[in-house]
Structure 1
Amino acid sequence: MEPLNSDYEVVVREPNPRARFNWLYVFPVLGGLWLLYLLLAAIFQFPVTGVVDPVMGFMLVLFFVMAGLLFWAMAPRSKH
């Protein structure tokens, strides 16, 4: 029998600077859900008047959240 190779190397992973941008994938998903809702409303003819105003307000808030996330994602990382 061969002896087991118990020598292992410690691999230090450096953080990926692009990993911060993964949070931004939430915004196209929310937009796609909104378009799907509008498409279903057009097909099945149900009223959307009570939903449009809150969703537009939510999108306005999400615009500022997206701007903040972009600034956070593009900021250089501090070295600890």
Structure 2
Amino acid sequence: MEPLDSDYEVVVREPNPRARFNWLYVFPILGGVWLLFLLSAAIFQIPITGVIDPIMGLMLVMFFVLAGLLFYALAPKAGR
């Protein structure tokens, strides 16, 4: 009987540096949802005056979140 070949190589998976950019897909999705909301309000003549101020505040906050995520995604790896 032959011995089983139990030698195995440990494969080290290095993280993909481009994977940090996946968080940025949230912003076009939110923009699309906002445009669909505005389009439906225009088509169905829905008053949205009460929604505009909170959304504009949210957009201001999301701008700073976008800037922070860009700094995070474009930062060099700490191990280099």
TM-score, normalised on structure 1?
0.86
Report the equivalent of 2:44: 44
Q: Give me the whole-angstrom Cα distance separating, in 1, the residues matched to 2:6 and 2:49.
A: 67
Identity of aligned residues (%): 77
Cα root mean square deviation, aligned: 1.9
Q: CA deviation at 1:10?
A: 2.5
For structure 2, the residue ranges without an aligned partner over 5 or more in a row are none
Report the equivalent of 1:59: 59
Q: How does 1:17-28 map to 2 (within 5 A)?
A: 17-28=17-28
Q: Which amino acid aligns with 2:68?
A: G
Count of residues in Structure 1 that have an aligned counterpart in Structure 2: 78
Deviations 1:23-80 (A, max 9, x none): 0000000000000000110111110100011101100110011001101111111129
| Consecutive aligned runs of 4 or more in structure 1 exceeding 3 Å deviation | 4-9
Report the equivalent of 1:13: 13
Q: Give me the whole-angstrom Cα distance separating, in 2, the residues matched to 1:71 and 1:56.
A: 23
Report the equivalent of 1:71: 71
For structure 1, the residue ranges without an aligned partner over 5 or more in a row are none
